[in-house]
Structure 1
Amino acid sequence: MSSEKRELTIVIFENNEAYRQSLEMYFQEFPGIRVVGSFADGADVENRVSESNPALILMDIDMPVMNGIDATTKIKTVFPEQLILILTVFEENEKVFDAIKAGADGYLLKSTPPHEIVQAMFDTVAGGSPMTPVIARKIIQVFARGTTVRATQITNELTEKEKQVLQSLVEGSSYKMIALQLSISLDTVRFHIRNIYTKLHVNSATEAVALAIRNRLV
């Protein structure tokens, strides 16, 4: 494997032609991002994904032929490791939870500024689960009704630096922002987050944040 930085290849599924084209034009400003597919509907998603082989998919929900939630389900069934970031206007609970259950790796509203979409894309491939704040709050409310854990025991297991990283996640900071805030490298941020996931027995930043808030870990 080359030591060169890998290019982020993406596929866009977006029904709104003007918005889809504006995304493509914006991404052209970043030499590390390459759009390898751009589609207005959810037709033939398995073949489209197979042929383009993207690192990440930006997925709209309201599309003809097959909506984004069903397309996400279908893609994840065939390609379980494929990363999919929902980008939509919908913030209703039903749409959010259906997308997460379908296997979406993150959920952004189209009101998200373009530079934050780019950061969320890189956060996703780095192992994060980016969410627009209002969406993250909905997910947290659901997890808050789940099972409890022994907060004191978990808190004792986290190092001081891990607690700082977890606090930053709760505040909605991206990996890059955390690195700047704590004066550490991105790789170190990812190392601490992997340890946090292991100690909290969770698989995503969303679950970690929900657990932290419910049990007042930070």
Structure 2
Amino acid sequence: MNEKNPAPVAIVEDKPDILDYLCELVSEHPRFECRHKYHNGEEAVSFLPQTNAQIAIVDIGLPGRLDGIDCVRLTKPKMPDTLFMMYTVFEDTEKIFESLKAGASGYLLKDASDAKILASLEDLLEGGAPMSGSIAKKVIEFFQKKPEPSKAAEVLSEREQEILQLLSKGRLYKEIADVLGIKEGTVKVHIHNIYTKLHVSNSREAIGIVFGNGGK
């Protein structure tokens, strides 16, 4: 997209002052042109798919029956090539992932500077997934967080949990016995008790119930 053919941008925002501010900011940049403005989700869902908008900036906290996430979820399938960027005050993990699942490619907080907003729009056009710093941090923390044992582990004793954890790492019965300083026969007894408590017949099922896939 060059300066002679700026990317058409749509904005969905219920507050008139913010809507006008964004539209003016976007249109001042040679690569973009604000062509479509909507004040609520219902309006956007009805008319946005009829446009050639290449980028849509969408507020989450819209009034009425449809919020911004609903708007993206209902509109994205009708215009798969359009790049949606959320522009919101919400920074909780649930809203972030609901937006991304709905089809958003970017997520900016409303305290973003003019330069950040414009840089994010350029990033979108170039195939990026722009996010405010604090949002990107939450996404990274979510994926780096180690899975916690499920509540199923609560029925197991501390020793049984230790043994199941070692099993999930591929340790043999003898190796588990050596690590824990107990007899191999004792390990087998604990494993039998684990299967009984979890109502399973093998270690794979037990590991899956307590730790998820693989438990690693």
TM-score using structure 1 length: 0.62
Q: Which has the higher contact order (CA 8 A, sep 6+)?
A: 1
Aligned to 1:16: 15
1:139-154 matched pairs, under 5 angstroms: 139-145=139-145
- The total of aligned residue pairs comes to 146
> Which deviates the most, 25-34 or 83-92?
25-34
The question of whether the paired residues in 1 share the 8 Å contact of 2:86 and 2:108 is answered with yes
Greater Rg by CA: 2
User: How many angstroms apart in 2 are the aligned matches of 1:34 and 1:3?
Assistant: 12
The question of whether the paired residues in 2 share the 8 Å contact of 1:14 and 1:41 is answered with yes
The question of whether the paired residues in 2 share the 8 Å contact of 1:9 and 1:34 is answered with yes
User: How many angstroms apart in 2 are the aligned matches of 1:11 and 1:134?
Assistant: 25
Whether 1:28 and 2:23 are equivalent positions in the alignment is: no
User: How many angstroms apart in 2 are the aligned matches of 1:93 and 1:47?
Assistant: 29
1:78-99 deviation line (CA, Å, top 9, x unaligned) = 2223210011011111111111
User: How many angstroms apart in 2 are the aligned matches of 1:106 and 1:27?
Assistant: 16
Q: How many percent of aligned residue pairs carry the same amino acid?
A: 31
Gaps of 5+ in 2: 148-216
Aligned to 1:82: 82
What is the CA-CA distance between 1:46 and the residue it aligns to?
3.8
Gaps of 5+ in 1: 148-218
TM-score using structure 2 length: 0.62
1:114-152 deviation line (CA, Å, top 9, x unaligned) = 1210110010011000010100011111222489xxxxx
Local SS of the residue matching 2:77: helix
Whether 1:126 and 2:126 are equivalent positions in the alignment is: yes
Q: CA RMSD in A?
A: 2.1
1:44-102 deviation line (CA, Å, top 9, x unaligned) = 43442222210100010011231000111111222223210011011111111111111
Aligned to 1:69: 69
Structure-2 change in CA distance of 1:79 and 1:28 (3 Å) = closer
